[in-house]
Every structure is written in C-alpha cells, then in structure tokens.
Amino acid sequence: MKKSSIIRTAASAALCLSLTAGAVMPKQALAWDWLSAGLAMFQVGAEYAYLNKQVSYLDNKGRDEYMGQIKNKYGVNTDPTANAMLTRIMTRLSDAVALTDDSIVKKPYNYFVNNDKSFNAFCTLGHNMSVNIGAFTKLNYNEDELAFVIAHEMGHGQKNHPAAGVKRALPLSILGALYASQNRNSASSVGAALVTTIGTAKWVTKPMESQADKLAFDYAVAAGYNVGAGAALWQHILEQNGSKSSGFAELFNDHPTSVSRRDNYNKKITEWSKNQVNVNKETGLITVAGKPFYTPAKTTNMSPQEQAFLIAGNLSAVFHDGGQHDAVWTNSENVLLVGEQPVMSLDGVAEAGTVETRLRDILSSSNVRTVVTEEINDDNNSKRSTAKVKAEQKQESAAETKPMTMRQKLEAYKAQQ
C-alpha cells in the first residue's frame, strides 16, 4: 500500500469515527469503519515495527549474512594491490577509530573490493563496507587519498548514519510491498531490497556528510595518513568531474559541494601546521612560515594543486609535531625529509638542490630557533643518525603512553566474554 493511500484511508476512517460518535448508525457500517481505521493504523505501525526489526537485524546479528548478499550483488574483485591496500587502510583506520570510539571493537568492519569501475565506496548497515575497484584506479592507487575516502565511510558507520538513512529514506511503497510480501518473516527481505540501491541511493543528509568529512580527517590523521590528502582527494575529484561532480559517487552527495569540501580540508592543513603552511588553491604555491617555498610542476598523474596539498600536508605534520627543529636532508631514495618526516620526492624535480636549500633557509630563519644551521655543515651520515636518534627517542616516549590498538582492545574484549 502506498503512503498516500494509507494516510487517506486512515484519515477518512478517523473522520467517520468522529462523525459517528453518539450517532445511531447501522451496526454493520459502524463495525466496518472501526475495522478499517484499525487496520490502516495497525498497518503503518506494523510496517515501521517491521522495518525497525529488519534494520536492527541487518545492522547486528544478520550483518555477515547481509555482507554475503552485497558480495553477490557487487562482485568481489581480487586485484592483489587493491586488496592489500584496503586491508592495510582498514587495519590502520580501525586502530585509529578505536582510540576514541570503543564501539568498533564489538562491531569491526566487514569490507571488500568490488568490481564496479566507477569512482565510489559505500558503508551500509552492519558496518559493511565496500570500495569500488574504480576508486583505486581513478586515484592511481594513492593510499593517502583512498584512506580519506574510506575514513569518510567509517565516519558514517560510527555515527550509525546507514540505519538512520534507511529508516528515513526507504520509500514507503517498497516497505509496504515488502511487508505485504509472502516472505515478511525472512530477515533479509529488506536487505534484498536495499542491496540493489546501496551504491546509488542518497540516504545521507548534508549534516551527515559534514560530520563524516570531519571524522574522516580525525581518523585518517590519527592513523598517520597525510594531513593534506583530504584536500588532494577533492582536488582530484574536481579535476575529474568539474565543479558539479556529477560523475562521482552518489554516496559522496554533491552537498556540500566538492569545492567547499576541498577548501575546508585545505584550511585544516593550515590549522594543523599552527598557521605555518598554506597552499594557494589556484596556483599550487606552497607558502611556509610566510615565505614562498615551492610550486609543483604538473605530472602525468597529478596537477600542481593536488601535489601541493600532499606536500603541504607533510610540512604541516612537521610544524604540528615541533619537527621544524630537525635537519632538512635528502635520503638515498631521493626523498626530501625534515628529520624523519618525508616531505616530497625530488624525482623529476628541476633544481632539486635549490628546493632543499630553500626549505632549510625558511625553517632556519623562521621565528622558532632550530638546530638545523649546525647540522647543514655535517655530512649526510651524521645528519641521518641525528634524525634517527631523535625519531627513536620519539618512538620510545610514544610507546610509554600509547593507547591500546584495535587488536589489543579486541583481545581484551574477547577475554572478558
């Protein structure tokens, strides 16, 4: 039964009731009106009760069964690089989520790479997550950017947006048909109806999207991913699809717009750096401590801006952790580092030596005094060992106060059962 007809039946029946109150009506007519009203209202209530029950089942006890339905529908992709990367990202992000949200320990994510070649990922009921193979290929397997995509989906999962979205947005016509169907007691009938729409339906609202974006930053950065990868991701999406973002990911609803999401994440880079690192979103110029540092040249895979956000994210981590005191150096793999923090690859960079010198000059002349000036006269080996000792010291002190990882929490949880 459609929503409109349910309401109409209920409303007209209610009208009949009020008119008949106190009036003498033929017994048969009165009985029919009562029955009609009761049935209509019972029907709506029962449909919602049915929906709540099924959603709750798919979200908890039946979540693995539901995952099976999703895998059948979308197909499991076996690309080894994508699968290894997804496992690595999920492990790191799950550990990061568990630092602030214990609920993930009781309901760890199910996940797989699916065969869809479009650019999308989804998290649905039961912490069931899937990433299209198209997301990997279209992001050129950039792990930092993919981590932001997946962390966004985990933001939805941790805040129970899928259940709220299904209850809000499942069309009543579908619900009515499911309820009326013969398999109303089959726990997976809502799942079967949902499984065809999860990759396309717009279940989420604008506030849900903003919340997921914010959580994505917190989770991805806590997991050690590049602070600038959120801005880089949305820069990439903008370049692929234009500002309308029509071709991309229904689940990444086009509200808030791709431009505002890129800009929000760009602001986060600057905030994280204690206002020491900026990216000009028009040109890709990176400014460090108020001084122009570097504008990346376009490569086959990335625009100057996308690269700039990633480099700025690394520099942001340097300032956030007080690492601007550390040595600026280039390792044997031609990566420019500050202490142990990689900043950028110098492969294919014109006048790489100048880039290194410029960064060293900026850091040594920035208002925070550094030990860099002493170290630039040393040879590479001693620079490296100084940086290494510092990194080891950092790791030791971190180990003392390190919170439990997801795996440790999971083991502790199991031990209690």
Rounded-to-integer distance, Cα 119 and Cα 75, Å: 15
Please state, in angstroms and rounded to a whole number, the distance separating the CA atoms of residues 94 and 177.
38
Q: Who contacts 414 (Cβ-Cβ below 8 Å, separation ≥6)?
A: none
State in angstroms the smallest separation of the CB of 372 from Zn ion: 42
Indicate the DSSP class of residue 109.
P
If one counts every other C-beta atom within 10 angstroms of the C-beta of residue 171, the result is 13
Angle between helical axes of 80-100 and 406-416 (0-180°, round to 10): 70
Q: Which two tokens stand for residue 309?
A: 């956000």
Q: How does DSSP classify residue 325?
A: G
**Binding region for Zn ion (CB under 5 A) out of 205-213, 236-244, 298-306, 398-406:** 205-213
Nearer residue to Zn ion within complex by CB, 147 or 212: 212
Region of 138-146, 203-211, 260-268, 284-292 interacting with Zn ion (CB under 5 A)? 203-211
Give the pairing type, strands 128-132 and 110-114: parallel
The correct pick among 123, 166, 193, 212 for binding Zn ion (CB under 5 A) is 212
Residue nearest to Zn ion (CB): 212
Decide whether 201 or 277 has the Cβ nearer to Zn ion.
201
Cβ 253 to Zn ion shortest distance, Å? 6
Q: Which of 235, 222, 217 is nearest to 308 (CA)?
A: 235
User: Residues in the chain, how many?
Assistant: 417
Q: Specify the stretch interacting with Zn ion by CB under 5 A; choose among 134-142, 165-173, 212-220, 385-393.
A: 212-220
CB of 167 to Zn ion, least distance (A): 17
Q: How far is the CB of 161 from Zn ion (least distance, A)?
A: 8
Fill in the per-residue mask, 158 to 197: x = in contact with Zn ion (CB under 5 A), - = not in contact.
----------------------------------------
Can you read off the two tokens belonging to residue 52?
């709540």
- Does 131 help bind Zn ion (rule: CB under 5 A)? no
Nearer to Zn ion, 200 or 299 (CB): 200
Min dist. Cβ of residue 160 to Zn ion (A):
13
158 and 110 in contact (C-beta within 8 Å)? no
**One-letter amino acid identity for 310?**
L
User: From the CB of 279, what's the least distance to Zn ion, in Å?
Assistant: 24
**Residue 116 Cβ, how far from Zn ion at the closest point, in Å?**
17
Contact 147, 222 (CB under 8 A): no
Nearer to Zn ion, 152 or 409 (CB): 152
> Site residues (CB under 5 A) for Zn ion?
209, 212
